[in-house]
Amino acid sequence: MTILGSTRIVRKAGLQTANVDDDLIILNMKTNNYIALDDIGRRIWALIENPVTVDEVCTALKAEFDAASEQISADVIKFLSELQTEDLVHVVDS
């Protein structure tokens, strides 16, 4: 499913995570893959703990980071699409 600004998304429950240095490591037991999240990735991960729209995530990040809205939106959609491909998040029906 294509992720858009209006898409409601949430991270999947029950994933194994660990803090390693400055990164958050997410272990996907289904695929035996892991993903390391930097500061911004960690912030997005925190924001999607509960169902939220992509636009709401972007608005929160815009308030915290100095970047153009268009760039934040493009980066967030790309990142969430990668998490979706890894089966770490799912889209919530509105």
Work out the angle between the directed axes of helices 69-85 and 54-64 (0-180°, nearest 10): 130
Task: Write 62-70 long-range contacts (CB < 8 A, 24+).
Answer: 65/40
Out of 18-22, 52-56, 64-68, 85-89, give the one with best mean pLDDT.
52-56
Distance CA 90, CA 40 (A): 19
Tens digit of pLDDT for each residue in 12-49? 988 888 988 888 999 888 888 889 999 999 999 999 99
Does residue 77 lie within any of the structural domains?
A: yes
Does residue 58 lie within any of the structural domains?
A: yes
Does residue 67 lie within any of the structural domains?
A: yes
Distance, CA of 49 to chain centre: 9
Domain of 55, in residue numbers: 8-12+39-92
Total-model pTM: 0.89
